Amino acid sequence: MAAMTMPRRRPGRPRRDETRPTREVVLTEATALFARRGFDAVGLREIAAAAGVDVATVSHHLGTKAQLYDACFAWVFAAEREVLETAAARARSALAAGPAAARRALHDLVDVFVDFLEQRPETTALWLRRWLEPDRHADLDARYATPLYGLVTDLLGAAAAAGALVEPTPHVTARSLVWAVHGHVVALLASGPARDRERAEFRRFVHHLLDRLYGPVDS
């Protein structure tokens, strides 16, 4: 009986990472490509090649390019929601402990958000590409951005209702903080050797901003 041989991979295709599920590998590569060049400039064949699979495998796991694009946002949203919901729950628990404890919890919440985006800058890049064309793929905002804005807005509203702080426009504050952190991530990527200083300076800035808005945490 003839010996079995493994089919050769096509030239130039990287070997797929066998330590992770195929869907995760495809999402990782697709997110990076969409974040770098946007929806129109990236094709399924390029994504498949980067992931070390064929186009049929990409389509099997994630459907059309539009469905894959949506899945990339869903993927980063799920990770972001997990860390923010945990931090927001801690902040809500702190409301009963008084204004200083509530403000300290807000510091912690912003720190969690900054940490997340510093560790996953493709999230910022993906959203910036989306926002360059505000009329296209606008439905993504409703599914993957609005819930997180709402999470912070509701928390600020609850803190104001509990007397822990004064916040007349929580939706504006939430949006402003989110955009500030995304801007920081962009600056961080371009800061080169000054990256550690940029991290420390932004952390001091955002804490100072919260203190100016709501009072220092030790008061």
- Can you tell me whether residue 169 is helix, strand or coil? coil
Q: Please, which residues have CB within 8 angstroms of residue 117's CB and are 6 or more apart in sequence?
A: 123, 124, 181, 182, 184, 185
Q: What is the pTM of this model?
A: 0.86
Closest CA to 150 of 142, 162, 160, 159: 142
Sole residue written with tokens 């030239």: 11
Say if domain 12-63 classifies as CATH 2.40.50.140.
no
Distance from C-alpha of 139 to C-alpha of 151, rounded to nearest angstrom: 18
Residue 8 has pLDDT above 50, yes or no: no
Other beta carbons within 10 angstroms of residue 146's beta carbon come to 12
Residue 216: predicted pLDDT: 86
CB 125 within 8 A of CB 36: yes
Residue 217: predicted pLDDT: 76
Domain layout of the chain by residue ranges: 12-63, 70-214
* Model pLDDT for residues 13-53, shown as the tens digit of each residue: 555 556 679 999 999 999 999 999 999 999 999 999 999 99
